[in-house]
């Protein structure tokens, strides 16, 4: 998992000082709904060929 984490940070040029969380067990639809229910706005979803996605979300 740690290797996948660093690979994704590098692939999507995520700065070291920016917080990210990688989670595998949920579907994209479920994860998006949970984030929205918690008050986040989904800004962008980045998919990769390994079946994982990065969700960019903001909470005001």
* HEC string for 16-34: CCCCCCCCCCCCHHHHHHH
Domain boundaries, the chain: 23-60
pTM of the model as a whole: 0.54
Write down the pLDDT at residue 1.
65
Report whether 58 contacts 41 (CB < 8 A).
Answer: yes
Write down the pLDDT at residue 21.
75
Write down the pLDDT at residue 3.
81
Is a pLDDT exceeding 90 seen at residue 40? yes
Is a pLDDT exceeding 70 seen at residue 48? no
Distances (CA, A) of 26 to 15, 19, 30, 46, 49: 25, 20, 6, 16, 17
Bridge partners, 41 (sequence order): 58
């Amino acid at each position: 998992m740690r290797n996948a984490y660093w690979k994704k940070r590098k692939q999507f040029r995520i700065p070291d000082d920016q917080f990210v969380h990688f989670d595998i067990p949920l579907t994209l639809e479920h994860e998006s709904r949970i984030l929205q229910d918690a008050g986040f706005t989904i800004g962008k979803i980045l998919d990769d060929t390994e079946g994982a996605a990065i969700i960019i979300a903001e909470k005001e």
